[in-house]
Amino acid sequence: MDYILLAVVITLTTVTWLISFFSVNKGAKSYSIGVCATLVYGAGIIISAFVLRQPLYNPKAILFGAIAGAGDATGYYLIMLYCLKIGPSGPTVAMYNLSLVWPIVTGVLFFSEKVTNRMLAGIILVVLSLTLMAWNRSEKDLTISFTCKWFLWAFIGWAIAGITLTCQLLTTRYAPGYTYSYLLGVVIVDFVLLFSIMMFKGKKVLVKSEIVAGVLIALISLAVGPISLGLISKIPAVIIFPAIYTSPIVIMLLVGKLFLNEKLNKPGWAASIVGVIGIVLLNIP
């Protein structure tokens, strides 16, 4: 049953990425989509908690959620999007996605999660896959050079993203059963920061594409958020985080190549193949 739910999470996460991809390509702003999504998501969390009789208040869960929300808003919407402006896109995205090593290391060092040789091989292949994705670059991207400024900000973004993911693991360990408290903490801080970014950018009104994308992403997140935390509470971090956060990336690479005329060079194909093998190794019973 857990692996069926995992497949659902991976599929729905991929759908949200596609929604964001098409919306942004049509001129929607990612932070504006985020404002709409967090507003609707927050309302949905409160309603869902009331209907399901789930607690909404737990100091630890809310604290972890607030840290994760702040990390999402600053790490992605500010730092990583800034890195995309000053540096190459492929390595920027790869650096951000490599943040999944944080909860894995945390699980092993602090929660005594066992790592077999097969799991270790799977993790190495997943990391290699994400690294190879950095070299799946367009001709325009190849003209953009690396700078010390880019390395510094990309590293900071990687660290913040890692802390954000680790908060999910810590919530399931130190505040089990308070999923909706955690999610409420996430959306409150996320909304405040994203709304501030939107105001700072001088954007006062959401356009139709941003509203539609935000609502759809929020509705999908109402299923993905609770299911993901439930899986993280039962499946070791070394298995669950690569599955949830690497699988959609590989799928997006292949979908982009097959249906969206996106470029997929040899490193891109290698990343896809290696990533699939790594995830399979991690999930073999």
Q: Specify whether the CB–CB gap between 48 and 54 falls below 8 A.
A: yes
CA distances to 45, 109, 165, 168, 175 from 62, in Å: 13, 24, 15, 11, 9
Q: Specify whether the CB–CB gap between 154 and 91 falls below 8 A.
A: yes
CA distances to 10, 62, 121 from 183, in Å: 19, 8, 33
- Mean pLDDT for back-to-back runs of 10 residues, the chain (285 residues): 86 89 85 93 96 95 96 85 75 83 94 90 91 70 70 91 95 95 96 93 89 95 94 92 87 76 78 89 80
What local confidence, expressed as pLDDT, does residue 218 receive? 95
Q: Specify whether the CB–CB gap between 200 and 31 falls below 8 A.
A: no
Tokens of 187: 């959306």
